[in-house]
Amino acid sequence: MSYVLLAPEILLTVLALAVILIGLLVSDKSKNILGYISAAGLAASLLLTIGNRGGDTFFYNALVIDPLSQIFKIIFIAVSLLAVIASIHYFKDNRNQDEYYGLILLATVGMMVVASANDLLSLFVGFELASMSTYVLAGFEKKNPSSLEAALKYFIIGSLSSALMLFGMSLVYGVSGSTNIPEILAYFNTAQVSGIDILAMVFLVAGFGFKMALVPFHMWAPDTYEGSPTVVSSLLAAGSKKMGFVAAFRVLVLALVAVRADIQVVFAILAVITMTYGNVVAISQKSIKRMLAYSSIAQAGYISLAFVVMTQMSIAGGVLLALGHAFMKGGAFIAVAVVGYMVLSDNKNAKNTDDISNFAGLGKRAPITALSLFVFFLALAGIPPSAGFIGKFVLFYSVTSQAVSTASTWLLVIVVIAILNSALSIYYYARVIRYMYVLPPIGERIHEPLPYVVAILLAVIGTIGIGLYPEPVINMAMNAAKVLGV
């Protein structure tokens, strides 16, 4: 057992405590250095995670290092790194930067624990560490009523989802006699399906569904994403909601093998409703943050297709789309933060800084931000060459292959609905692009802050890089899917 494999988690935990301690020792004017320290630590943790090739279990089989955990850790760390880089400018004058960066680092550690969880108890602890940190982050702008409202709604709904998830876990423990996922898998491999098994599945799907923002468990997402500080919204939409997916892979696909058929039917219904509802409601939004929130809900519907057929390719497609979504959605929210900075530069008392009217002429006022947002929107719509196209292609192809091999008409219908939804999403993305490049600007060109530009360009590189050279990430995703024995 080599604890070197846990070096990324150990590094970020120590760094979070160090950042808080340093914040006590330096003046408020010097706290901006904490953003650079946090970014450097996250970059080092990302390199350590990418470099980890081994596999092992820790703490009496409570944590496992395997390809599935590693690729989701890469997602979580990459999103946190983008958020921290953008936050260097967003919170540059905030005297509470030590608490802010400490919370982001601890939230990242919690997400990483969820990715590695091999036991229901460690899974729940990871969820709560990440959730408690993000509840505070959502309400970090204490003088902004919208931020406080977002945090309160997020906390109430998040607490409800935790209760549902915990009750489902207790039922699984009651029937299997263990909280360890491999032992639960061994039990369900030989057990007959009972009513309690189905009830446990229902509560777990509800609990994970809240984390993934699937309809009808999505209620918290639009208000929380809109009211939170924009850089925090990027962390929530692109990072923390992926916890629900990796947890569902571990528990619903791997452990609850006896009820896989029921899980497939449930997720088929949830996926169709989620992607359709998200896209339809996004069309009418004037707030770009709310539009991106509903777009994120629709993307969750696409990723959920991985649970509908549960083949190695479908799981790999879901993982690929989750990875691409991290860069696309994270970068898009940071671009919206630049627009907010631009609007407040013109009028410090401006409200609704993310209104679509503020994007008029953005191509001339902030050309790097506008071009990057153009790339993110095309990628989210699934236009090649992008990470969004690769993820959707693999995912849709896997469902189509399964439909053909099993002569299943309903699977083909689901694929057609997914493709039509992707086409529908082009409308509301194109509307914003029209504002950016067709309508005249309503102000002078601005200086785009360097931290924002760096974070956005890194997200663009991730989005386009995966699209142009997908082979390494496809191999990683396929290896991750093998862990689940599908």
Quick one: CA dihedral 31, 227, 375, 467, positive or negative? positive
Say if CB 381 and CB 427 are below 8 A apart. Answer: no
State how many domains the chain has: 1
CA separation for the pair 379, 371 (Å, rounded): 12
CA separation for the pair 269, 173 (Å, rounded): 27
Q: Work out the average pLDDT over 105-125.
A: 93
User: Which three-class secondary structure state does DSSP give residue 63?
Assistant: strand
Say if CB 129 and CB 106 are below 8 A apart. Answer: yes
Evaluate if residue 56 carries a pLDDT over 90. Answer: no
pTM above 0.85, yes or no: yes
Evaluate if residue 31 carries a pLDDT over 90. Answer: no
Quick one: pLDDT band at residue 260, thresholds 50, 70, 90? confident
Cβ-proximal residues to 376 (8 Å cutoff; 6+ apart), any chain: 328, 329, 331, 332, 335, 459, 460, 463
pLDDT tens for residues 281-333? 999 999 999 999 999 999 999 999 999 988 889 999 999 999 999 999 999 99
Evaluate if residue 256 carries a pLDDT over 80. Answer: no
CA separation for the pair 151, 386 (Å, rounded): 33
Q: What is the pLDDT of residue 1?
A: 60
User: Domain range spanning residue 153?
Assistant: 3-482
DSSP string, 253-274: III-GGGHHHHHHHHHHHHHHH
Q: Work out the average pLDDT over 253-265.
A: 79
Say if CB 124 and CB 173 are below 8 A apart. Answer: no
Q: Which residue has the tokens 């955990």?
A: 69
CA separation for the pair 101, 2 (Å, rounded): 29
Residue 169, token pair as written in the block: 């876990």
Burial 206-216 (b: 16+ CB within 10 A, else e): bbbbbbbbbbe
- The residues facing 57 across adjacent strands are 64
Q: What is the pLDDT of residue 30?
A: 84
User: Which three-class secondary structure state does DSSP give residue 78?
Assistant: helix
Q: How many angstroms separate the Cα of 17 from the Cα of each of 103, 134, 356?
A: 10, 17, 40
Provide the terminal-to-terminal Cα distance of the chain, rounded to the nearest Å.
27
Cβ-proximal residues to 86 (8 Å cutoff; 6+ apart), any chain: 231, 234, 334, 337, 451, 452, 455, 456
Burial of 143 (0-12, 13-18, 19+ CB in 10 A): exposed
pLDDT tens for residues 405-459? 887 888 999 999 999 999 999 999 999 999 999 998 888 888 889 999 999 999 9
Q: At what angle do helices 195-212 and 260-283 cross, to 10 degrees?
A: 30
Q: What is the pLDDT of residue 354?
A: 84
Beta strands in 5-48 (DSSP E): none
Percent of the chain as helix, strand, coil, to the nearest 5: 80, 0, 20
**57 — phi, psi (to 5°)?**
-120, 155
Residue 337, token pair as written in the block: 């933060």
Evaluate if residue 91 carries a pLDDT over 80. Answer: yes
Average per-residue pLDDT for the chain:
90
pLDDT tens for residues 178-219? 889 888 888 888 877 778 888 888 899 888 988 888 988 888
- The residues facing 125 across adjacent strands are none
Q: How many angstroms separate the Cα of 251 from the Cα of each of 177, 188, 214, 399?
A: 15, 12, 17, 21
